[in-house]
Amino acid sequence: MNVLVLGGTGEARRLAAALDGRPGFAVTSSLAGRVAVPALPEGEVRIGGFGGVDGLVAWMRGSRTDAVVDATHPFAARMTANAVAAAEAVGVPLLLLRRPGWQEGPGDRWHRVPDAPAAAALLPALGERVFLAIGRGDLPVFARLAELWFLLRAVDPPPPPLPPRHHAVLARGPFTADAERALLREHRIDVLVTRDSGGEMTAAKLVAARELGLPVVLMARPEAPPAPTVATVAEAVHWLESRQLG
């Protein structure tokens, strides 16, 4: 079974490791190429976009793809939509591998918002110094907030437009709660803005915010298209094995 794993997440790397060398499977992991030095999974890897649905369809047919696992970031809505459309066009099964979102607990001061514009509108009422941990795609939405100061964190330098008052930290997770707490204190952060990515790799900042009593603005995930969905790598492997046997 030729499996295409649309990756870039920890779950995608763990799935590739589980399938690589497994009897009856050949796995290719696809990375978008947005990070200069990505964390590479085991097995065959391709880097770069497909060129939309038509390009993905052509690649899948040329590679004789038998199944697709979309294990991209929960906020990679365009890639997921393309994957669903391409899998339907080629006639192969597709699975979404999505870790659950975060759940608010005792001591959390979360403000759930639908998107980046709603987060930007809320910020002035919550604080002046903002830790903006949202990836680079939505940064331009916050560029107009000249009265606020932003701490930005990314693997590579984020492109403009950026908020006029900001400091960028280049780092790759996972991060510990102790490190996140120290970062928030060092930069005298008043409020954290992040996306509901879920998972343990990036949850430490939420722990640190809770311990320091800071409010968190949590951006909701885009709605996923209707497709078979699992939450764990083990479930994804089981789904693939059931189709292999079928």
Whether 168 is covered by a domain: the verdict is yes
Distance spanning both ends of the chain, measured CA to CA: 11
Give the lowest-confidence range in 62-71, 172-181, 188-197: 172-181
Q: Whole-angstrom Cα distance, residue 112 to residue 26?
A: 41
Question: Are 126 and 207 in the same domain?
Answer: yes
Number of domains observed in the structure of the chain = 2
Residue 246 binned pLDDT confidence (cut-offs 50, 70, 90): low
Do 69 and 121 lie in a common domain? no
**Which amino acid, residue 186?**
E
CA angle 245, 30, 54 (to 5 degrees): 90
d(CA 202, CA 84): 27
pLDDT tens digits, one per residue of 5-55:
999 899 999 999 999 989 999 999 999 877 777 888 999 999 999 999 999
Mean pLDDT along residues 201-213:
95
Q: What is the CATH number of the domain that holds 30?
A: 3.40.50.720
Crossing angle between the packed helical segments 204-212 and 177-186, to the nearest 10 degrees = 50
Q: Whole-number mean pLDDT of the chain? A: 95
Answer for the pair 222, 76: CB distance below 8 angstroms, yes or no: no
Q: What single DSSP character describes residue 190?
A: -
Entry pTM: 0.91
Let me know if residue 104 belongs to a domain.
Answer: no
Which residue range is the domain that position 40 belongs to?
A: 2-99+223-245
CATH of the domain at 182: 3.40.50
Q: Contact at 8 Å (CB) between 240 and 19?
A: yes
- Do residues 123 and 210 share a domain? yes
Phi, psi (rounded to 5 degrees) for 181: -65, -45
Q: pLDDT tens digits for 128-156?
A: 999 999 988 899 999 999 999 999 998 88
Residues 147 and 237 in one domain: no
Shared-domain flag, residues 84 and 160:
no
Residue 220: φ, ψ to 5°: -70, 155
**Domain co-membership, 139 together with 69:** no
